[in-house]
Amino acid sequence: MSMSNKATQFNSETARKAAKKSRTPEAEAKRTETRNTNRLIKGELYNTIRNILLSCNNNTEDPYYKQYLEKFTKIALEKPTSAAGLMVAEQLFKDGVIDALDEQTDKALAKDTAFYQYRLQQRLFNEQKNVFNDYISKKIAVMCSRRAGKTEGNSDFILKIAAIPNSPILYINLTFENAINQIFDLILKEAERVELNISKSSKNNGFIQFSNGSSILLKGNKDRSEADKLQGGKYRLVIIDEAQSQCNMTYLIETIIEPMLTDFEDSVLILTGTPPRRKGTYFEKVWNNNEWTKYHWTMKENPFIKNVEQKIQEVCAEKGVTPDSAFIKREYFGEIAYDTEAQVFKDYKVYQGAIPSDFVPTHIYTGVDFGYADYNGVVTLAANVDQKRCYVIFERKFNKATVSQIIDTVREGFENGKRFILERNPNADLANCNIFTDTNEKSITYELSQTYGLPAYCAYKYDRALAMETLAEWCRTGRILNIENGEVANEFEQTLYKRDELDNITSELDDGFHPDITMALLYASRQLFYDCGLDAGGESKNKQTGEF
């Protein structure tokens, strides 16, 4: 055997003996003792270092480690080529260091946001939490009864989004005053409870600014002009409250709101309210649209409302209604039930197809409503004054129109009326064919008269409540017949009287829906009623006075 083989055999044998010896209980006990001693020394060493780093010296309140870091970074700043400067530079310019810092910052912000959102939902009951914890839906509709906790839910959802840094939020109620009264103080109180810091707030301006850069703007929507003022903003969250009574919702949402939600991938639009009083509202269309996520509950699910059944019975006794009345179903059970009692044009009559051949008109009345903040409406009414028999023969409802487009539509309606009367009554006096306009755009009325030579006059507008009642009666009794499924008939379904605080029906029109083409019919009918000798009428021909 060679010397090298003998050496290898010797080393292997030695290694086997050493390994066997290292596995004995005595050897394991010695290793354990060594490890324990090392741990004690390491613990004492770390404790000593910790005490040194945290100790204060040089008559200062700052601990040693802070003084050291300040001195170290000062040297690095003053002498970039020093060892300290080179070490800092190496860390700063290391690949991914900025991304790593951003990642740590994002993690910290996410932790803060999650903490605020957790604290917010602590006070919510199950139905409110279902909405609060919806992090997926882009469009949410919440339809509930009275006292179901919608306002508190809105407040906490607003603050849920406000907890995300740099999140602009818009809250819209029926009026600015309603927005302030319903939710401003509640938001402040809730923000204070969860310690979400507010840097400034103004109740007069309806504005709340948070320290993290988020903000809340409170607005009203009493007419289209209010909606137009909102253009140009960008928001992560928009809540439209009292959605069942909001006006111009199609324009507000599709023209104004939706473009303002495109800047944030996680933007949310929420509509909240009670079931609508009228048929055909935007809120009801949303409720039947599968693109929206819907939530519904009543005051019965609100654990803070006690003795619900007793309260409902008390309301029924106070108002003289039963639990199956439309009011109780809508307001307390959260069911869609129309307020037909408050409908202005009940049981109106319509005609289908051609107008009977025995109808011979004596007058043509074209009514015009100028839509400064709403839609434009043009209606032509053919009437036999002697027989008190009338038909709507032309109707147009349109918006976003120029003055020339409005004039063209008025001329179209007027010319249709003239052709119709001449076809049915060739000997008719065309002086009985006239145009009666709203008074808010007298310049258009003047242009119709002076530029185009049309018999256009500002309509008589006094005693509107009486005129509206008379128009409703004529439509109910069939003396005025409207086009089946036409624009006027559609508005008749939605035009309601306002209810007061005691829920009594008043003589004022409800603010939730502005009738446009119905007003055009009203202006036409004022002269009709005058020609028929009724108190609801009024002389509109003021050509002699030059008033336009």
pLDDT class for 543, splitting at 50, 70, 90?
A: very low
pLDDT class for 97, splitting at 50, 70, 90?
A: low
Q: Is the pLDDT of residue 496 over 50?
A: yes
Q: How does DSSP assign 352-420, residue by residue?
A: -SSPPTT---SEEEEEEE--SSS-EEEEEEEEETTTTEEEEEEEEEE-S--HHHHHHHHHHHHHHHHHH
Residue 377 CA to residue 387 CA, distance in Å, equals: 27
Lowest-confidence segment of 22-26, 459-463, 538-542 by average pLDDT: 22-26
pLDDT at position 116: 81
The residues, ordered by sequence, that sit 6+ positions from 247 with a Cβ below 8 Å of its Cβ are 221, 222, 223, 224, 374, 511, 512, 513, 514
Strand-pairing partners, residue 297, are: 144
- Residue 141 sits at φ, ψ, to 5 deg, of -120, 130
Higher pLDDT, 389 or 320: 389
Check if CATH label 3.30.420.280 holds for domain 350-531. Answer: yes
pLDDT at position 546: 41
Higher pLDDT, 82 or 429: 429
**CA nearest 410: which of 441, 448, 450, 439?**
448
Q: Is the pLDDT of residue 122 over 90?
A: no
119-305 CATH pick, 3.30.390.50, 1.10.357.10, 3.30.1240.10, 3.40.50.300: 3.40.50.300
Q: Is the pLDDT of residue 29 over 70?
A: no
Q: Is the pLDDT of residue 287 over 80?
A: yes
The residues, ordered by sequence, that sit 6+ positions from 223 with a Cβ below 8 Å of its Cβ are 247, 248, 373, 374, 514
Percent of the chain with pLDDT over 70: 83
Residue 101 CA to residue 205 CA, distance in Å, equals: 38
Residue 252 CA to residue 323 CA, distance in Å, equals: 35
Quote the mean pLDDT of the chain.
86
Q: Is the pLDDT of residue 286 over 70?
A: yes
Same fold, 119-305 and 350-531: no
Instruction: Parse the chain into domains and list their residue ranges.
Output: 19-82, 119-305, 350-531
Higher pLDDT, 100 or 421: 421
pLDDT class for 40, splitting at 50, 70, 90?
A: low
> Burial level of 315, CB count in 10 A (0-12/13-18/19+)?
middle
pLDDT class for 511, splitting at 50, 70, 90?
A: confident
Q: Is the pLDDT of residue 126 over 90?
A: yes
Q: Is the pLDDT of residue 21 over 70?
A: no
DSSP state of 276: P
Give yes or no for a contact between 278 and 246, defined as CB atoms under 8 angstroms apart: no
Residue 241 CA to residue 273 CA, distance in Å, equals: 6
First to last CA, the chain: 131
Mind listing the pLDDT tens digit for each residue in 425-472? 999 999 999 999 998 889 999 999 999 999 999 998 888 889 999 999
Q: Which helix (H) or strand (E) holds 199?
A: strand 198-202
Mind listing the pLDDT tens digit for each residue in 296-343? 999 999 999 999 999 999 988 988 889 998 889 999 999 999 998 899
List the structure tokens of 306. Answer: 């006690």
- Residue 505 sits at φ, ψ, to 5 deg, of -75, 130
Give yes or no for a contact between 381 and 421, defined as CB atoms under 8 angstroms apart: no
Angle between the N-to-C axes of helices 403-424 and 442-450, in degrees from 0 to 180, rounded to the nearest 10 = 50
Give yes or no for a contact between 440 and 370, defined as CB atoms under 8 angstroms apart: yes
pLDDT at position 493: 92
Lowest-confidence segment of 9-23, 159-173, 505-519 by average pLDDT: 9-23
List the structure tokens of 361. Answer: 């008109």
The residues, ordered by sequence, that sit 6+ positions from 369 with a Cβ below 8 Å of its Cβ are 375, 376, 377, 378, 438, 516, 517, 519, 520, 523
Give yes or no for a contact between 271 and 117, defined as CB atoms under 8 angstroms apart: no
Other beta carbons less than 10 A from residue 259's beta carbon:
13
CA 518 vs. chain centroid, Å, equals: 27
Q: Is 271 left (phi over 0), alpha (psi -120 to 50) or beta?
A: beta
pLDDT class for 265, splitting at 50, 70, 90?
A: very high
pLDDT at position 507: 87
Higher pLDDT, 91 or 14: 91
Q: Is the pLDDT of residue 165 over 80?
A: yes
Q: Is the pLDDT of residue 389 over 50?
A: yes
pLDDT at position 225: 80
pLDDT at position 548: 44
Residue 154 CA to residue 170 CA, distance in Å, equals: 11
pLDDT at position 247: 84
